[in-house]
Amino acid sequence: MDYEQEMTTQEVVLSENLEQTLSSAIGKVDYDRLFVLTDETTLRLCWPLVSEMACMQGAQMITIGATDENKTLDSLAHVWTRLQQGGATRHSLMVNLGGGMVTDLGGFAASTFKRGLAYINVPTTLLSMVDASVGGKTGINFGGLKNEVGVFNCAATVILDAEFLHTLDYENLASGYAEMLKHGLISTEENWAELLRFDLHHVDYRALGRLVAKSVAIKERIVEQDPLEHGLRKALNLGHTVGHAFESLAMMENRTVLHGYAVAWGLVCELYLSAKRAGFPTDKMHQTAQFVRDTYGTFAFDCKQYDRLYELMTHDKKNTAGQVNFTLLGDVGDLRINQTATREEIMEMLDYYRESN
């Protein structure tokens, strides 16, 4: 299957010298024009770290609005327009410098303009390092739903440099850390326990860099075995069926939440379902829920919003035959993909979440 083989040809580089690594990655692509995509925040905080590099000279800048509210068709059209105005061809190269919104939208823009040009991801947030920029998923939000339109298409290179983590505030560090916690839950008890012990309020960046490397390795291993999400890759959806519903509800109510926060709250819900349907140990469920409460607070909703949340879950891309599909766990690392739950069980789960907070 040539397409699946192509999907896995993505080089992920843990960089200790950003200029050298970026120069090398750009040098591997035979390109005619170079474009750099940022959002307004990364233009201010991250572009100065690379703007003077020799490999960046002559690059044409494209900037979109920051935050997930701008991960839209309008922003995508703006990027396409700027590529067109800048004379981009199928042999051009785009560097996505930013968080998950930039790497998702930029990857989709690059994958579709002129039927596809090469792109490099330089994730600047913890979330994009361990989640969005690795694995070839690209896309935009559409019709009020998260990542509703997109394609699978890997970056030529993904460059992970811990230097960017110093630009993040607590909330954005915590947001990325939720995906790392998910990776711990689907891998080993040792990794999960190590993540629960880490102090996000007093960050040891060297130790965090090591945890990032472990987290990326877990995701890479899964993506290599199942690039197009036919089976094993669905493990990475743990926490996301409910998390995306929380995120979409918050967006509709103009109280946007960070993706990782929604995933963390979704993990608590889906571990409850895991305990109920797959025998996940309740002591580990409570430990994880306590960590999530302490780190992320809680997502406020009431029973009048249950129907809307359920409806949002039914729109999830992972569903089949109209049933809400979950990834559950029998224990840490004991994956149960393609699990369903009844409407009644989902209502019970929402009750549990509200009552336990």
Instruction: Note the pLDDT of residue 8.
Output: 47
- Output the domain CATH number for residue 258: 1.20.1090.10
Same domain membership, residue 193 and residue 127: no
Q: What is the rounded CA–CA span in Å between residue 279 and residue 175?
A: 28
DSSP 84: H
Same domain, 25 and 146: yes
Q: Which element (helix H / strand E) includes 99?
A: none
Statement to judge: residues 132 and 267 lie in one domain: no
311 and 176 assigned to the same domain:
yes
Tell me the average confidence (pLDDT) per consecutive run of 10 residues in the chain, 357 residues long: 44 91 97 98 96 97 95 98 98 96 97 97 93 84 92 94 90 96 97 96 90 91 85 93 96 93 98 97 98 96 97 82 88 95 96 93
Q: Are residues 72 and 98 in the same domain?
A: yes
Q: Does 298 lie in the same domain as 284?
A: yes
Of the three residues 126, 145, 168, the one that is the final residue of a domain is 168
CATH number for the domain harbouring residue 47: 3.40.50.1970
Q: Are residues 238 and 132 in the same domain?
A: no
Determine the pLDDT at residue 33.
98
Answer yes or no: do 221 and 291 share one domain.
yes
Assess whether 23 and 138 both reside in one domain: yes
d(CA 107, CA 138) in angstroms, rounded, equals 5
Question: Which domain range does residue 310 map to?
Answer: 171-355
Q: Are residues 162 and 24 in the same domain?
A: yes
Residues 121, 15 within the same domain = yes
Q: Which pLDDT belongs to residue 315?
A: 86
Q: Give yes or no: residues 191 and 158 share one domain.
A: no
Could you tell me the CA-to-CA distances from 206 to 33, 82, 110, 203 in Å, in that order? 36, 38, 33, 9
At which of 153, 168, 183 does a domain end?
168
Count up the domains in the chain and report the number.
2
Q: In terms of Cα–Cα distance, which of 47, 310, 246 is closest to 164?
A: 47
pLDDT value at residue 14: 87
The pTM for the full model equals: 0.83
- Contact (Cβ atoms closer than 8 angstroms) between residue 229 and residue 219: no
Show which of 111, 145, 168 is a domain's final residue: 168
Q: What is the pLDDT of residue 317?
A: 66
